[in-house]
Amino acid sequence: MKIQPPLSILVLHGPNLNLLGQREPQIYGALSLATIDSRLKAEAALLLVDIVTAQSNHEGVLVDKIHEALGRHQGILINPGAYTHTSVALRDAIAGVGLPAVEVHLSNVYRREEFRHHSYIAPVAVGQISGFGANSYLLGLRALVYHLQEGQGEGKEQGKS
Ligand code: CA2
């Protein structure tokens, strides 16, 4: 039996999420991004997976990070921030690398302004979790890991590993 290295997940935070905990706590909660990242690391340890986290306010930097995930990570957990509602480039990058991605949002975007109801990312994501504050990230990580593990399980049943 071949020993598999742990799954590695890239966690991407989009624009303005570096401000978390400092402004608009009524919408986005009181936790800082550093606290969310450390909770994600604790959750990843429970799930026996590795994570690498990054935040950028720049669309092209996020596109580059998605490209660089190929060969390094098996899945992407992403809060694209406002780029959710505007970015064909991020959508094309996720579709282009073909890695399973889960989209997460702190706020329930469907209870907010109409322009937040459309996501360019959702059609190329495995799924979306929205409205649970920092727990959206933890739920999203769990969903992505289960998705990846189920995929591997199916492969094994078919004698592919
Ligand atoms: O609910 C989410 O996670 C969002 O992705 C957050 C984005 C927003 O544009 C999306 O519609 C939904 C905005 C992130 C801005 O974060 C801030 C945090 C603190 C203070 C100001 C902005």
Distance between Cα 81 and ligand 1 center (Å): 5
Work out the pLDDT band at 152, boundaries 50, 70, 90: low
Instruction: Write down how long the chain is.
Output: 161
What is the rounded CA–CA span in Å between residue 61 and residue 43? 26
For the CA of 21, the closest atom of ligand 1 is: 19
pLDDT tens profile 15-50: 999 999 988 888 898 999 999 999 999 999 999 999
**pTM score of the predicted model:** 0.93
User: Residue 112 pLDDT more than 90?
Assistant: yes
- Measured from the CB, is residue 129 less than 6 Å from ligand 1? no
- Measured from the CB, is residue 140 less than 6 Å from ligand 1? no
In order, the DSSP letters of 11-79 are EEE-TTGGGTTTS-HHHH-S--HHHHHHHHHHHHHHHT-EEEEEE-S-HHHHHHHHHHHTTT-SEEEEE
Pick the CATH number of 8-149 from 3.40.50.9100, 3.40.1280.10, 3.90.1150.10, 3.40.50.720: 3.40.50.9100
116 burial via Cβ count (<10 Å: 0-12, 13-18, 19+): middle
- Closest C-alpha residue for ligand 1 atom 22: 16
pLDDT tens profile 55-105: 999 999 999 999 999 999 999 999 999 999 999 999 999 999 999 999 999
Average pLDDT on 51-56 reads: 98
Domain boundaries, the chain: 8-149
Q: What is the pLDDT of residue 19?
A: 96
Q: What is the pLDDT of residue 92?
A: 98
pLDDT tens profile 115-150: 999 999 999 999 999 999 999 999 999 999 999 999
